[in-house]
Every structure is written in C-alpha cells, then in structure tokens.
C-alpha cells in the first residue's frame, strides 16, 4: 500500500464515525479507531443514503476526506487493509469490498464510486448481482 501523509489533528477533528458497538466517536479518536478497517466514515452527515468511495492506487482514503466533508450525505471511504485481497483478481477484490459494504449497509440500493484506480473495483461491484 502506498503511504499517505498522516492526518493532522485539524483534519481528524472534522470526521466522526460509529464504532462496532454503536457508540459515537468524534475527533481524533474516530479516525484513529477506524483506520485499520476497510470501511471508514469520512464525514459527519447523518441524513441520506450513504455513498461508498473506493480508494485510489495508493490504497488510502484520506485524500477523499475534504471532498467527503462537502457532501450532504454519509460518506464512507473503502480502503486497502491487510485483509483485502489486493494480490488476487479484480473480481475477487470487488467481491471482498462488496461484502464489506454490505456489512455496513445490508440492503441496497447502493451508491458506489471510485477515486482513480477505485473506479475499476467500483465497476466490478456494480457489475455483480447484488443479491449474492
């Protein structure tokens, strides 16, 4: 995974996320808590259908944080993590990311996009039957 710049305290303070137990985390604790996960909340919006944006070639999602903060719906970054099968096929990677998205949002419809390279696995996701 290509290394991104570490987030600053100011940029981290703009992000909020929910932990697995449903507790609300904010500020630096929020981003630090989720940076080892595949799906990471990138903004504080609570209304509307979530948007999932897949990572670029570097694997990270912090480059999308400023844009996500301007969007008036929940935005999640889908990032490369050690459990992601990045050495397999694009179809396998797309299936893995779809399963992670379904963990966050079990029922569709889904709003899915990709940043740079992320367009390829995004296309792979939308090409799959969402019922599987």
Assess contact for 38 and 81: CB atoms under 8 A: yes
Q: How many alpha carbons fall within 13 Å on the CB side of residue 36?
A: 5
- pTM strictly above 0.85: no
Q: Is 19 helix (H, G, I), strand (E, B) or coil?
A: coil
E-strand ranges in 11-74 read 16-18, 24-26, 39-41, 51-54
Locate the domains of the chain by residue range: 37-126
The verdict on whether 116 is a catalytic residue reads yes
Model pLDDT for residues 7-59, shown as the tens digit of each residue: 444 444 444 434 344 445 554 456 667 788 999 999 999 999 999 999 999 88
Domain 37-126 superfamily per CATH: Alpha/Beta hydrolase fold, catalytic domain (3.40.50.1820)
Other Cβ atoms within 10 Å of 27 Cβ, number: 13
Q: Which of 9, 94, 99, 116 is labelled catalytic?
A: 116
Model pLDDT for residues 48-91, shown as the tens digit of each residue: 999 999 999 988 888 888 899 999 999 999 999 999 887 889 99
């Amino acid at each position: 995974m290509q290394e991104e710049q570490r987030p600053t305290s100011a940029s981290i303070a703009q992000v909020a996320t929910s932990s697995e137990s449903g507790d609300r985390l904010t500020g630096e604790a929020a981003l630090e808590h989720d940076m080892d996960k595949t799906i990471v909340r990138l903004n504080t919006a609570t209304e509307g259908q979530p948007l999932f944006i897949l990572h670029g070639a570097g694997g990270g999602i912090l480059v999308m944080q400023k844009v996500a903060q301007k969007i008036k719906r929940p935005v999640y970054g889908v990032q490369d993590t050690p459990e992601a099968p990045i050495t397999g096929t694009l179809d396998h990677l797309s299936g893995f990311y779809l399963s992670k998205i379904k963990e966050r949002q079990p029922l569709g419809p889904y709003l899915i996009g990709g940043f740079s390279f992320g367009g390829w696995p995004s296309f792979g996701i939308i090409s799959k039957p969402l019922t599987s």
